[in-house]
Chains A and B, each alone.
Chain A
Amino acid sequence: MRSVRVVVRSLSELCITVGVLLVLFVVYLLYWTGIRADSAADSEISRLQDRWSRAGATAEHGARRPAAYRDGAAFAVMYIPRFGRDWARPVLQNTEPGTLRRGLGHYSRTARLGERGNFAVAGHRRTHGDPFRDFPALRPGDPVVVSDGRTWYTYTLTRRPYRTLPDDTGVVAPLPAPLDPDAAPFRRPGRYLTLTTCDPEWGSSHRLIAWARLDATRPVASGKPAALRR
């Protein structure tokens, strides 16, 4: 009888332990990653702004040479008014999981910000601060503003988010070439931006893609672009 009791007790303790672990993991995913990501994003943005304001004085004397993007380091701040007035996220170089925990990730092999080609950026839809949670709400004409400390780049979305498969790598090509040719947003080369995230919200079977074209640039010294002043 005693051994039966030990087995039953051990089994119930195991079940309780697993249950508590699962609950803790959900708490970690839903709350903790968000708290960590928000504070990481805030500190990346304030670090960038510190660096920019220190570099500002030297920038007055002529164009600084653009610095190479350092792997895993933030180099720009993105603003998408559609996601909320206060929505601002740092853009970091590369799309490793550790990088995406701190902000948006720039596909290393794609063009630099504002240059000819395709500046492609990935972000979490859910967990880690949910930066791209409202991705499906994006509409043609929505501005996406990115600042690298010297220039405001205002991109304008060209169409509703395009849903595709994870292996559709053409979407981040210099001239985006999705699997579905009808979805191709542009005809000729230019200065483009691509945003990618996962779809459905909690899954990974598909990706959501949004494309934008560079509409306007404006020196940081002349103040925020119109898209952010509304």
Chain B
Amino acid sequence: MYGWIWRHLPGNAIVRALISLVLIAGVVFLLFQYVFPWAEPLLPFNDVTVDGA
């Protein structure tokens, strides 16, 4: 998968490395902003109230 992405990026190795960094940063941003906040309530650390109140 990563090899496939690397081969399909344009430019020489340096350009590809820079684009890869941007892609990684974008993925981390999406994870921290949307995916993890969504996944977090599925874990038990959020249950701080007594139920139904």
The minimal Cβ–Cβ distance linking A106 to chain B, given in whole angstroms, is: 11
Size of B's binding interface in residues, CB under 8 A: 21
A169 to B2, CA, bound (A): 51
User: In the assembled complex, which residues on chain B have CB atoms less than 8 Å from the CB atom of A167?
Assistant: 50-52
- Asked if B49 and A122 sit within 8 Å, CB to CB, the answer is yes
- Given the interface pairs A25-B39, A28-B31, the reply to whether A204 lies near B49 with Cβ below 8 Å is no
On whether the beta carbons of A207 and B36 are closer than 8 Å, the reply is: no
> A89 within 8 Å of B by Cβ?
no
Question: A126 to chain B: which residues have CB within 8 Å?
Answer: 45
Per the bound structure, the CA–CA distance linking A107 and B52 in Å amounts to 10
Chain A residues near B48 (CB-CB < 8 A): 95, 100, 122-125, 132, 196-198, 207
Complex contacts, B39 vs chain A, CB 8 Å = 25
Q: Chain A contacts of B51 at CB under 8 A?
A: 166-167, 169
Report A-chain residues with C-beta under 8 Å of the C-beta of B31.
Answer: 21, 24-25, 28
Contacts of A127 in B (CB 8 A): 40, 45-46
Does residue B18 face the partner (Cβ distance < 8 Å to A)?
A: no
For the complex, what is the distance from the CA of A166 to the CA of B52, rounded to whole Å?
Answer: 9
Knowing A126-B45, A127-B45 touch, does A169 contact B1 (C-beta < 8 A)? no
Q: Residue on B with the closest CB to A124?
A: B48
| A100 CB contacts on chain B under 8 angstroms | 46, 48
Among B25-44, those with CB < 8 Å from A are: 28, 31-32, 36, 39-41, 43-44
Asked if B2 and A202 sit within 8 Å, CB to CB, the answer is: no
Residue on A nearest B39 in the bound complex, by CB: A25
A107 touches B53 (CB 8 A): yes
Q: In the complex the two chains form, is B50's CB within 8 Å of A204's CB?
A: no
A171 contacts chain B at the CB level, 8 A cutoff: yes
From A168, which residue of chain B is reached at the shortest CB distance? Answer: B50
Q: Does A55 contact B (CB under 8 A)?
A: no
Kindly state whether residue A51 has any CB partner on chain B within 8 Å: no
Q: Which residues of B contact A (CB under 8 A)?
A: 1-3, 28, 31-32, 36, 39-41, 43-53
Q: A125-B45, A198-B48 are in contact. List 19 more A-B contacts (CB 8 A).
A: A10-B1, A21-B31, A25-B31, A28-B40, A32-B32, A32-B36, A97-B40, A100-B48, A122-B49, A124-B48, A125-B48, A127-B40, A167-B52, A169-B51, A169-B52, A169-B53, A202-B45, A204-B47, A209-B50
Query: Would you mind naming 13 contact pairs between A and B with Cβ atoms under 8 Å apart?
Result: A24-B28, A100-B46, A100-B48, A123-B48, A166-B47, A167-B50, A169-B50, A169-B53, A171-B50, A198-B44, A202-B44, A204-B46, A207-B50
